[in-house]
């Protein structure tokens, strides 16, 4: 609400009189001129004044005005008019651009009812149809031939197009073991990989290996042994037998409409147009990115001078590229090496609201070292090469000013992710604590929706007291990768609470499509009031950890198992109490439940298959009575919980539900997901 009030004041400040009243308003427009004052919304009739042309010029003018103003400026607002604002390098906001306080920020906002796009793309023109291949269009790009430009993405009329790929749908399969050696080698089926691709030198092989991927160049092909040699060494964890892979950027893979190929030697881009794309009429807008980063809030980390009180409102960030190391790359997990296309470092008390991030190469937004108390609210992030939001670093900082913490990430719509980097995450919390991730809608991605923690084991970390609540998370994994959860945690996370989330449809390629997944060392976490259904491997899985509390959740209709526990340890893994477990396929408990170092009680279990009977239900091979004799579920029952209609995923409870008698508290899903604008606090 405060920022809307500032925007209203800015609209009233178009006259020099109000500018003298210590409020500076500058305008930026695609028909502007950086030599003009920026005080006018549109060019004057005499063509001597008007809006500025670029945001960097507006920032420079605001700095100069601050230095000259007496008394000091109370606020600075930069209004960006609609249209595409092309960038070749990132806009940099420095400590000198900071606002005075939360009520008087530097506000960079879309002009009301207009949609400015900050684009890293450049339009490609001069298209000509191939004389030998109808529908194939070509454009000369001399900078590519000269080695000054190489792009890996192409957009036609605002839609991403597929770089030449084979197979066009689905995947090839590695024969047997994952790529091994330095450089990596893999065995392929006859005909899948061609020796001429190694001769070209820039044909890429992308393999999906459990929770990670590799993208490497093909360097040699032995057609007799069916062995392909790649360009670098995989990670030790890059293991998955008979894994899926595909080939990209081979010229002969340009064999389907909607695909494109960049011929670097000839300096020509080729695109096989989709039906209805009439390039002869020159009405199609084709762009390729020249930038891989669009905006940076950069504090002076060494001098402890942060960027402060900056608000970005209503802007669209679009069309960036992704980069490739000279020998390719191998991911560890979660596309962790991929940076944000909007990055903040050493920035505090800033906000990013109602913005759009689309057609980007990496993560949409990164809050890195020294970032504290950001509000990231009401944004849409979609069609991304990487993930949505990165918070923190892999390194655990100790200096208070270096910590990344205290962010509010709410009411964002984050979807259709991982187009270039499938292991990317919706909201990725690394070494960062005291964050609230709430009321987001995250869906349609190939790996985890929300990940918290970056430590394997039991060392203390800065990742603590995070609240992950009221999020709607679904259509995760989509059968492409393995070993993921809708909410995934690593390491000790004191004070972290995962509650009131609606989770469904988590599907892995082989194993590990889990709803709630407390992985290696996850400890001291409370998981409560979540509804988790229709996940491939289980609704809840703990690999190993200690003293977690899993209570008052609904786990329903998960397919292979309902609950899983993997590693035996001498401490208590978790307490599981007042939950409802309802299923009609698979087993109740999967993996390892032998050592009894867990506590379970006051739960309701029900196998809804017509042939199922309480006496036939098995608890890790034991009957219910045998299980109770081991000290578990002594107050629990096997009974129909009396859901309203589980077949349409209505898990409201009948007043006579046995779960209510055991103390189960009904879960209100009406508050889950994105809230109306007036209710976002």
The C-alpha atoms of residue 144 and residue 127 are separated, in whole angstroms, by: 16
Q: Does 19 score more than 50 pLDDT?
A: no
Global confidence as pTM: 0.96
Residue 260's alpha-carbon distances to 250, 251, 633, 669, in angstroms, are: 10, 9, 59, 44
Q: Which two tokens stand for residue 477?
A: 């994994």
Buried b / exposed e over 282-306, threshold 16 CB at 10 Å, is eebebbbbbbbbbbbbbbebeeeeb
Contact between residue 33 and residue 40 where contact means Cβ atoms under 8 Å apart? no
| Contacts for 150 with CB less than 8 Å, ≥ 6 apart | 144, 262, 264
21 pLDDT above the threshold of 80: no
Residue 570 is encoded by which pair of tokens? 């001498």
Q: What gap in Å lies between CA 364 and CA 227, rounded to an integer?
A: 37
Phi first, then psi: what are they for 253, rounded to 5°?
A: -85, -5
Write out the H or E segment, with its range, that includes residue 169.
Answer: none
Radius of gyration over alpha carbons of the chain, in Å?
Answer: 27
Task: Give the single-character DSSP code of 46.
Answer: T
Indicate the range of 16-30, 309-323, 458-472 predicted with least confidence.
Answer: 16-30
Residues 626-647 as b/e (b if ≥16 CB within 10 A, e otherwise) read ebbeeebbeebbbebbbbeebe
Given this model, what pLDDT does residue 73 score?
Answer: 85
Mention every residue, 6+ apart, whose C-beta is less than 8 A from residue 619.
Answer: 588, 589, 593, 626, 627, 632, 633
What pLDDT was estimated at residue 470?
98
What are the tens digits of pLDDT across the range 242-288?
999 999 999 999 999 999 999 999 999 999 999 988 888 778 899 99
Quickly state the pLDDT bin for 71 (edges 50, 70, 90): confident
pLDDT for 415-445, tens place per residue? 999 999 999 999 999 999 999 999 999 999 9
β-sheet bridge partners, residue 638: 605
Structure tokens at 362: 């990496």
Q: How far apart are CA 212 and CA 436, in angstroms?
A: 27
pLDDT band at 16; cut points 50, 70, 90: very low
293 with 341: CB under 8 angstroms?
Answer: yes
pLDDT of 215 over the 70 cut: yes
Average pLDDT over residues 207-235: 98
Residue labelled with tokens 């259709």: 416
In this predicted structure, what is the pLDDT of residue 630?
97
Contact (CB, 8 A) for 571 and 597: yes
In the block, which residue shows the tokens 């962010």? Answer: 407
Pairing verdict, β 587-591 and 561-565: parallel
Per-residue pLDDT tens over the stretch 142-186: 999 999 999 999 999 999 999 999 999 999 999 999 999 999 999
Contact in structure between 397 and 403 (CB atoms under 8 Å): yes
Q: Are 637 and 607 in contact (CB under 8 A)?
A: no
Within 10 angstroms of residue 191's Cβ, the number of other Cβ atoms is: 9
CA nearest to 381, candidates 362, 356, 363: 356
- Among residues 57, 62, 29, the alpha carbon closest in space to that of 43 is found at 29
**pLDDT per residue over 455-487, tens digit each?**
999 999 999 999 999 999 999 999 999 999 999
Of 176, 227, 219, whose CA–CA distance to 200 is shortest? 219
Distance from C-alpha of 289 to C-alpha of 123, rounded to nearest angstrom? 9
The enclosing H or E element of 591 equals strand 587-591
pLDDT computed for residue 606 by the predictor: 98
Query: CA 4 to CA 663: how far, in whole Å?
Result: 45
The answer to whether 138 and 267 are in contact (CB under 8 A) is: no
| Residues 3, 4, 6, 7, Cα dihedral to 10° | 120
Whether the pLDDT of residue 9 is over 80: the answer is no
Q: Give the closest residue to 580 by CA, choosing from 653, 516, 480.
A: 653
**Burial class for 170, CB neighbours closer than 10 Å (0-12, 13-18, 19+):** exposed
What is the set of domains in the chain, with CATH numbers?
Answer: 2-120 (no CATH), 122-288 (no CATH), 322-661 (2.160.20.10)
Main-chain phi, psi angles of 535, to 5 degrees: -105, 150
260's enclosing H/E stretch is strand 259-263
The three-state secondary structure class of 513 is: strand
Are 478 and 244 a contacting pair, CB within 8 Å? Answer: no
Instruction: Tell me if 563 sits within 8 A of 538, measured CB to CB.
Output: yes
Classify each residue of 585-623 as buried b or exposed e, where b means 16 or more C-beta atoms within 10 Å of its C-beta: ebbbbbbebeeeebebbbbbbbbbeeeeeeeebebbebe
Dig out the tokens for 661 from the structure: 């008698």
CB neighbour list of residue 483: distance below 8 Å, 6 or more residues apart: 210, 211, 508, 511, 512
282-298 pLDDT tens trace:
788 999 999 999 999 99
Longest C-alpha distance within the chain, in Å?
A: 92
Separation between Cα atoms, residue 404 and residue 337, nearest integer Å: 18
Phi and psi torsions of 625, nearest 5°: -65, -40
- In whole angstroms, give the CA distance from residue 546 to residue 31: 61
Give 221 or 12, the one with higher predicted confidence. 221
> Can you tell me the distance from the alpha carbon of 579 to that of 651, in angstroms, rounded to the nearest whole number?
13
Q: Which residues pair with 548 in a beta bridge?
A: 574
Q: Report how far residue 207's alpha carbon sits from residue 245's, in angstroms, rounded to the nearest whole number.
A: 4
User: What's the CA gap between 194 and 188, in Å, rounded?
Assistant: 10
**What is the distance between the alpha carbons of residues 335 and 337, in angstroms, rounded to a whole number?**
6
563-593 tens-digit pLDDT: 999 999 999 999 999 999 999 999 999 999 9
Beta carbons of 494 and 459 less than 8 angstroms apart: no
Q: What is the pLDDT, as a whole number, of residue 279? A: 84
Tell me how far apart the alpha carbons of residues 429 and 450 are, in angstroms, rounded to a whole number. 8
Write the CB contacts of 35 (distance below 8 Å, at least 6 apart in sequence). Answer: none
Residue 11 pLDDT > 80, yes or no?
no
């Amino acid at each position: 609400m405060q920022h809307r009030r500032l925007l209203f004041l800015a609209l009233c400040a178009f006259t020099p009189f109000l500018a003298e009243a210590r409020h500076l308003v500058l305008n930026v427009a695609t028909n502007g001129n950086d030599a003009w004052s920026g005080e006018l919304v549109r060019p004057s009739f005499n063509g001597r004044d008007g809006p500025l042309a670029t945001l960097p010029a507006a920032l420079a003018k605001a700095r100069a005005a601050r230095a000259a103003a007496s008394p000091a400026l109370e606020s600075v607002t930069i209004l960006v008019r609609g249209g595409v604002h092309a960038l070749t390098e990132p806009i940099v906001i420095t400590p000198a651009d900071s606002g005075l306080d939360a009520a008087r920020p530097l506000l960079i906002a879309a002009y009301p009812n207009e949609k400015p796009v900050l684009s890293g793309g450049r339009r490609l023109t001069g298209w000509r149809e191939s004389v030998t291949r109808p529908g194939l269009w070509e454009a000369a790009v001399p900078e590519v031939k000269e080695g000054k430009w190489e792009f890996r993405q192409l957009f036609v009329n605002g839609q991403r197009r597929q770089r030449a790929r084979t197979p066009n749908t689905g995947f090839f399969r590695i024969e047997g073991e994952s790529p091994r050696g330095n450089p990596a080698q893999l065995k392929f089926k006859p005909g899948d990989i061609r020796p001429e691709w190694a001769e070209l030198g820039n044909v890429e092989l992308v393999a999906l290996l459990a929770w990670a991927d590799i993208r490497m160049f093909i360097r040699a092909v032995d057609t007799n042994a069916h062995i392909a040699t790649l360009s670098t060494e995989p990670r030790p964890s890059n293991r998955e037998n008979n894994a899926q892979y595909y080939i990209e950027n081979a010229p002969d893979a340009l064999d389907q409409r909607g695909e494109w190929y960049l011929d670097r030697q000839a300096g020509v881009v080729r695109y096989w147009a989709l039906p209805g794309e009439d390039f002869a009429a020159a009405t199609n807008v084709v762009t390729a990115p020249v930038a891989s980063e669009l905006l940076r809030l950069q504090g002076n980390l060494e001098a402890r001078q942060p960027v402060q009180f900056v608000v970005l409102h209503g802007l669209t960030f679009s069309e960036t590229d992704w980069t490739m190391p000279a020998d390719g790359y191998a991911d560890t997990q979660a596309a962790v090496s991929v940076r944000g296309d909007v990055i903040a470092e050493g920035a505090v008390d800033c906000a990013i609201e109602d913005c759009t991030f689309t057609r980007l190469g990496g993560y949409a937004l990164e809050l890195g070292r020294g970032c504290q108390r950001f509000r990231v609210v009401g944004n849409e992030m979609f069609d991304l090469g990487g993930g949505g939001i990165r918070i923190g670093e892999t390194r655990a900082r100790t200096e208070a000013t270096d910590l990344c913490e205290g962010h509010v990430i709410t009411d964002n719509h984050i979807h259709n992710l991982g187009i270039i980097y499938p292991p990317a995450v919706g909201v990725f919390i690394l070494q960062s604590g005291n964050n609230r991730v709430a009321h987001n809608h995250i869906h349609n991605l190939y790996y985890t929706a929300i990940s918290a923690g970056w430590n394997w084991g039991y060392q203390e970390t800065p990742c603590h007291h995070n609240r992950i609540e009221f999020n709607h998370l679904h259509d995760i994994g989509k059968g492409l990768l393995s070993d993921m959860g809708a909410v995934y945690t690593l390491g000790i996370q004191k004070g972290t609470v995962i509650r009131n989330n609606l989770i469904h449809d988590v599907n892995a390629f082989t194993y590990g499509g889990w709803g709630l997944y407390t992985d290696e060392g996850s400890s001291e976490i409370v998981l409560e009031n979540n509804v988790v259904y229709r996940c491939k491997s289980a609704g809840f899985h703990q690999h190993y950890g200690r003293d977690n509390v899993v209570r008052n959740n609904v786990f329903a209709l998960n397919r292979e198992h309902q609950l899983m526990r993997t590693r035996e340890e001498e401490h208590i893994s978790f307490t599981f109490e007042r939950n409802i477990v309802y299923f009609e396929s698979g087993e109740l408990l999967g993996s390892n439940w032998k050592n009894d170092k867990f506590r379970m009680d006051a739960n309701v279990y029900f196998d809804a298959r017509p042939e199922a009977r309480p006496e036939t239900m098995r608890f890790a091979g034991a009957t219910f009575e045998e299980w109770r004799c081991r000290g578990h579920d002594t107050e629990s029952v096997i009974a129909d919980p009396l859901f309203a209609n589980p077949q349409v995923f209505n898990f409201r409870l009948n007043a006579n539900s046995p779960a209510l008698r055991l103390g189960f508290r009904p879960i209100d899903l009406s508050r889950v997901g994105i809230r109306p604008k007036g209710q976002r606090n």
